[in-house]
Amino acid sequence: MDSVDLQVIRTARDWVGAGHRVVLATVIRTWGSAPRPIGALSAIRGDGMVVGSVSGGCVEDDMILRVKEGRLAQDKPETTKYGVSAEEAQRFGLPCGGTLELVLEPLTAASGLDELLSRIERHELVMRRLDMASGRATTGAAKWQDQLTFDGATLQTVYGPRWRLLIIGAGQLSTYLAQMAQALDYQVSICDPREEYTTTFDVPGVTLKRGMPDDVVTAMNLDGHSAVVTLTHDPKLDDMALLEALKSPAFYIGAIGSKKNNDARRERLAEFDLSQAEIARLHGPVGLKIGSKTPPEIAVAILAEMTAIRNGVDPKTLAEPPKATTAGCTVS
């Protein structure tokens, strides 16, 4: 889950604890062009206060009014749709005739938000099951491949970090990359066996691993929700991690350094038990070419490329093709 939805749960928990009536809305299905993904959350307080969004602001006003009037999820969970007809889509501002289906849950002490938040804050991946008939919710351990499901009787949602990022090196750039990645729903680990770097490294919520990079990569059992980025500029450390990561199902593997350095890196990797197809998975130089110079800008470039690949977009299509020139003039 992303940091926005985590804030929704925290705020809803506090509102319930203060004695307010609260309705939690969860996106369970979308059709057409939807501004928020499945699983997005919004909490509406009885007096109309709202946190989070299920539609980018399109339908929240209607839900606020219905909650204030006591016409929405008064006693038990229920479902509702917005934008079913073209008229409604226009009325609620849903783009391109998009449709949302929501589960609306009146929160109570039986909603188990304290336990849910406690497990999320321990960086656990949590499965929450909501019984639509009773409104009672239970939590348990989830697996990386679990997804939101709804069969009419039970809403099953997954909370916690769905994506993992392993960064090799505990330098300044790693600090910015780790902080930004956490806001994008990554459970971040930093690996660096060098004491001179790890002694002063401190980013809240990040797991620091002091083992050798190849051992750490192997122990993490990387899957398709995992990414690895090497940032030490030291082949003895970066290449060790890459040798194992490139054989894994990780969706993104990147290495810092110039094109010349990464060409040399590929030649070194070819001397080991890696196929050319595995070596070709390496993104190096790492990140999109956005002219980044400073550590924060480089972190943005790395995460932009990771996000594109995570969302099924080929980064090569994001580059503007060069324009033809004639006698020094650009041809448009």
Residue pair 186/165 in contact (Cβ under 8 Å)? The answer is yes
Distance in angstroms (rounded) separating the CA atoms of residues 180 and 177: 5
Query: In the CATH scheme, what architecture does the domain 163-316 have?
Result: 3-Layer(aba) Sandwich (3.40)
Distance in angstroms (rounded) separating the CA atoms of residues 132 and 77: 5
| Surface-to-core class of residue 59, CB atoms within 10 Å of its CB (0-12 exposed, 13-18 middle, 19+ buried) | buried
Looking at residue 54, its pLDDT comes to 86
Helix (H, G, I), strand (E, B) or coil at 324: coil
Domain ranges of the chain: 3-159, 163-316
pLDDT along the chain (332 residues), means of 10: 80 96 94 75 94 81 90 91 64 63 93 92 86 94 86 93 90 96 91 93 92 96 91 95 96 96 95 95 95 96 95 78 49 42
Instruction: Write the DSSP assignment of 174-212 as a string of letters.
Output: HHHHHHHHHHTTEEEEEE---HHHHSS---TTPEEE-S-
Question: At CA 70, angle to CA 67 and CA 74, rounded to 5?
Answer: 95
Q: Count helices and strands (H / E) in the chain.
A: 11, 17
Residue pair 46/20 in contact (Cβ under 8 Å)? The answer is yes
